[in-house]
């Protein structure tokens, strides 16, 4: 790393993750900058819910809001109904969840802290109707 | 973004190691042997992560 390399600071788990991405030559600083001005909502991590979330306007697809959720695998999996499978999406039913949970259990028994990711996208209008009007529920 | 209202798409998961500090095991055994204390651990991690860490730190035995 040279003097101009972005050095993440903060929560050690987050920093560990960002450094892992940097080791894989992923330009995290540029990706983080792409969030600027596009954040529609954030839900901070709650140790009770074991997840955090952010809603972002997609920089590459105007009019699309993408919700990113990150947290403990047990909390994330129960909110999921589909999964990324190669280039396509696949159904995430009880059997697939059992399989993923078993893999997670194996990783966890090696003293690893597991962080899971999930996403959902919607048209900006739907986002506004659901979360930015008085009638809509606020993000939680 | 209320729980259950939005059907999320699972992207994946990864594991990070948060190593136990080198003096933890000796501190735990000191508290137990010299202080006659029962040491327990509080963690928000996955139960299996917490268990394996607790065993490594000498807080839990394999058969507990």
> pLDDT tens for residues B1-40?
444 478 999 999 999 998 899 999 999 999 999 988 999 9
Let me know if residue B39 belongs to a domain: yes
Q: E strand or H helix at A83, and its extent? A: strand A80-85
CB within 8 Å: B11 and A47: no
Task: Please tell me whether the interface predicted TM-score (ipTM) of this complex is above 0.95.
Answer: no
Q: Which residue in A75, A81, A113 has the most chain B C-beta atoms within 10 A of its own C-beta, making it the best mutation to test that interface?
A: A113
What residues contact residue A46 under an 8 Å CB cut-off, 6+ apart? A52
What are the structural domain ranges in chain A?
1-33, 38-132
Let me know if residue B42 belongs to a domain: yes
Let me know if residue B62 belongs to a domain: no
Let me know if residue B63 belongs to a domain: no
Both tokens of B5, joined, read 């209202």
The per-residue pLDDT for range A38-69, each reduced to its tens digit, is 999 999 999 899 999 999 999 999 999 999 99
Q: Is B62 on the interface with A (CB under 8 A)?
A: no
Let me know if residue B7 belongs to a domain: no
Specify the number of domains making up chain B: 1
Both tokens of A130, joined, read 């659901």
Let me know if residue B46 belongs to a domain: yes
Let me know if residue B4 belongs to a domain: no
Task: Give the dihedral of Cα atoms A38, A40, A46, A52; nearest 10 deg.
Answer: -50
Instruction: Assess contact for A34 and A59: CB atoms under 8 A.
Output: yes
The per-residue pLDDT for range A1-33, each reduced to its tens digit, is 556 788 999 988 899 999 999 999 999 999 999
Pairing of strands B8-17, A112-123: antiparallel
Enumerate the H helices of A1-140 as residue ranges. Answer: 12-23, 28-33, 73-77, 94-108, 124-127
- The CATH architecture that domain A38-132 belongs to is 3-Layer(aba) Sandwich (3.40)
Whole domain around residue B45: which residue ranges?
24-56
User: CA nearest B20: which of B60, B61, B54?
Assistant: B54
Pairing of strands B8-17, A80-85: parallel
Let me know if residue B50 belongs to a domain: yes
pLDDT of res. A2: 59
């Amino acid at each position: 790393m040279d003097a101009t390399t972005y050095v993440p600071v903060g929560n050690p788990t987050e920093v560990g993750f960002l450094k892992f991405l940097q080791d894989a030559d992923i330009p995290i600083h540029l990706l983080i900058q792409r969030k600027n001005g596009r954040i529609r909502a954030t839900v901070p991590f709650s140790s009770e819910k074991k997840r955090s979330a952010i809603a972002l306007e997609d920089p590459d697809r105007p009019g699309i809001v993408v919700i990113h959720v990150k947290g403990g695998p047990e909390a994330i999996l129960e909110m999921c109904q589909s999964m990324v499978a190669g280039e396509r999406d696949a159904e995430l039913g009880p059997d697939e969840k059992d399989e993923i949970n078993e893999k997670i259990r194996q990783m966890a028994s090696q003293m690893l802290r597991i962080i899971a990711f999930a996403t959902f996208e919607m048209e900006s209008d739907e986002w506004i109707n659901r979360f930015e009007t008085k009638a809509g529920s606020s993000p939680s | 973004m209320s729980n259950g209202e939005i059907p999320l798409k699972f992207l994946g998961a990864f594991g990070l190691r948060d190593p136990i500090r080198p003096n933890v095991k000796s501190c735990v055994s000191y508290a137990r042997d010299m202080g006659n204390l029962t040491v327990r651990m509080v963690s928000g991690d996955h139960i299996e992560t917490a268990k394996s860490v607790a065993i490594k730190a000498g807080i839990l035995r394999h058969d507990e």
